[in-house]
Chain A
């Protein structure tokens, strides 16, 4: 009897494993074929040498990383380093600006009547349903030389005469802030929506003036949303291609453009791959830093991002 039941249980375990295998299979195959293999290929390419027609070839070398660091035929140039620093700066600046713009918007929406909130959220999200390229062209038209905005900036002496607000780093920052706003508003709105107002009242009751009540009772509660939004904004912004390409001109190039160029015009796949790896490393470093910040500010509470 006992043996039979063990055998049956054994069979049950086998069939359960098989079920699990079958249900996981499609996803696993998808990830292996479209994520793992290309990534491995990309890494391999990064360590290969650039051929005369831009194709990666043997032998293996660190040449592409040397080029990425700025060493070329004509000695060292800081171009790539500037591109990296510009990417980091643009990411930081636009993320901070997105937070500053999105925080009051998200709060304001939660204070509206319940029936208006979905409509207001929709208004925040709807622009992102239009193609990013088209929206960026829209900004080009708004900021080009001779437009009211550019004329106003000239009149205020912010830009030289006969120049436009586009192309410029300013235009890139503006484009990034505009593009990523919904990704910050939505998680912040979710955080504000479930804000425990009793905590805010408790802070006021315990002698906290309005600003301190905000800092000690509101801000910590919105921190998970803020961190989630920061991840959603900063990572794609760091690798952004379209906006700097269209709004930045030659001086607004970011890391994404550097990488893309290597796979297109410049035809230096190993260098492009090395750039992609650098982006990956920077992203992971950023995520790690965010986790640490979340843990510290969250008072040991895990902030999931």
Chain B
């Protein structure tokens, strides 16, 4: 897909070029989004959205993250106008668009299945939105050429959709939405059908396109890694309720509850049996805690991130110290994952693979970690 030849004098065609701050060749106006008490129910007892309040800033890369059935796709479809909320208000760019049909919203969507029109050429697919909006053919021609150039697929415009690869279709679907210069771009798991390599590449590319255009992106995914790589902020949804909104590091390092913690990939969650100012009792034993983590409630969960654990070596003063046995070792190349058994409980640890001695299965190891890395999580 990439051209091995040195780039010709066309200097505006590389979306991967970070040196350019913002591309002004495609004029646009990013909009903020405000959701107020959105509710949506399907049938008698399927609550898709249970009172969602959310503000998405203009020009933000915002991700709706959650398991299937959490309501993230319903929320996106409401933003697009393809679904009507039962209650609540939706404001885009400060204007109430709750009752505006999809074809009158300056919002465009990249669909999960791409939804390209198979009976039209790539060019006609790209021009579709402009045509429906009644733009002149000269204007369409110019914009289509520009967007095809922008996503580096100018050579494909004469093709039929069924002659494209999955990655190419994905880019055409993106371009078909971008060419309309929407105030908000919605992306419904657009990368889920691609293989891992291409997916990683497009994650980076999408993020850079968003930064370059300064457009508001609302991205839906169930993949927390994808969400963390791309987003400015993430909203984690479950059962139609927003559990947490925050930057990737906030959501990953300080999940507000056990659901968010588990969904962000944390395995080391231990029920708190008793707690005081600077310690908690769990199945692992009594652990020192940063007083800043003090909570009014007694119960909840203690989160220990596997990468904060130190295996073997000296235990610095003030650190927590546990003794465990290596039960399993997974070699991941850049890092090594250990499944330890501590006081009859499983504890996961991750060590970067840098010159240190590998611990073998069956080894007794000392586990140490700083009290400040422990996080209390609500139930």
In the bound complex, CA of A29 to CA of B121 (Å):
46
CA distance A68 to B107 in the complex (A): 64
A297: B residues at CB distance < 8 A: 119
Distance (Å) between the CB of B90 and the closest chain A CB? 15
A208 to B101, CA, bound (A): 10
Mostly, the A contact residues are: helix
Considering the chains assembled together, what is the distance between the CA atoms of A53 and B119 in angstroms? 58
Number of residue pairs spanning A and B whose beta carbons lie under 8 angstroms apart: 78
Write out the residue numbers on chain B whose beta carbons fall within 8 Å of the beta carbon of A216. 117, 128, 132
Q: Is B32 an interface residue (CB 8 A)?
A: no
Does B133 make an interface contact (CB < 8 A)? yes
CA distance A216 to B119 in the complex (A): 9
Interfacial chain A residues near B132, Cβ < 8 Å: 203, 206-209, 212, 216
Contact flag A207-B111 (CB < 8 Å), given A216-B117, A299-B120, A301-B160: no
Partner of A207, one of B103, B112, B160, B162: B103
- Residues of A within 8 Å of B180, CB to CB, are 206-207
By the criterion CB–CB under 8 Å, are B111 and A198 in contact?
yes
Taking CB atoms, residues of chain B closer than 8 Å to A105 are none
CB under 8 Å from chain A, chain B span 96-117? 101-104, 107-109, 111-113, 115-117
B112-141 residues with Cβ-Cβ distance < 8 A to A are: 112-113, 115-121, 128-129, 132-133
Count chain B CB atoms within 10 A of each CB in A203, A207, A299, A300 and give the residue with the most. A207
**In the complex, chain B residues 157-183 whose Cβ is within 8 Å of any chain A Cβ:** 160, 162, 176-177, 180
Asked if residues A205 and B117 are in contact (CB atoms below 8 Å), the reply is: no
User: Are A204 and B160 neighbours in the complex by a CB distance under 8 Å?
Assistant: no
Q: How far is B134's CA from A236's CA once the two chains are assembled, in angstroms?
A: 43
Q: Tell me, in angstroms, the Cα distance from A135 to B117 when the chains sit together.
A: 43
CA A210 to CA B108, docked complex, whole Å: 16
Q: Report how far A223 CA is from B162 CA in the complex, Å.
A: 17
| Set A206, A298, A299: member contacting B129, Cβ < 8 A | A206
B304 at the interface (CB under 8 A from A): no
Asked if A193 lies at the interface with its beta carbon under 8 angstroms from chain B, I say no
Q: Which residue of A lies closest to B108 (CB)?
A: A205
With a cutoff of 8 Å between Cβ atoms, the chain A residues found around residue B81 in the complex are 204-205
Contact indicator B103/A202 (Cβ below 8 Å): no
Residues of A within 8 A of B117 (CB): 199, 202-203, 216-217, 220
With A203-B128, A204-B103, A209-B103 in contact, do A299 and B121 touch (Cβ < 8 Å)? yes
| A 32-58 contacts with B by CB, 8 A | none
- Asked if B204 is an interface residue, CB under 8 A from chain A, the answer is no
How many Å lie between the Cα of A212 and that of B117 in the bound state? 14
B101 touches A299 (CB 8 A): no
Interface string of B51-93 (1 = CB under 8 A from A): 0000000000000000000000000000011100000000000
B109 near A205: Cβ-Cβ < 8 Å: yes
Asked whether, in the complex, the Cβ of B160 is within 8 Å of the Cβ of A300, the reply is yes
A202 touches B119 (CB 8 A): no
- Minimum Cβ distance to chain B for residue A221 (Å): 8
CA–CA, A231 and B128, complex, Å: 31
B160 and A299 contacting across the interface, CB-CB below 8 Å: yes
| Residue from the list B115, B116, B133, B160 in contact with A201, Cβ < 8 A | B115
**Are the CB atoms of A208 and B111 closer together than 8 Å?**
no
6 more contacts with CB within 8 A, not counting A201-B82, A202-B115, A206-B176, are A201-B102, A202-B116, A204-B101, A207-B103, A209-B103, A299-B120
4 A-B pairs with the lowest CB-CB distances in the bound complex, closest first: A206-B129, A198-B115, A202-B115, A299-B119
Q: Name 26 interchain pairs, CB-CB below 8 A, sorted by A.
A: A198-B111, A201-B109, A201-B111, A201-B115, A202-B109, A202-B111, A202-B116, A203-B128, A203-B132, A204-B82, A204-B102, A205-B82, A205-B108, A206-B128, A206-B129, A206-B176, A207-B103, A208-B128, A208-B132, A210-B103, A212-B132, A220-B117, A297-B119, A299-B119, A299-B121, A301-B118
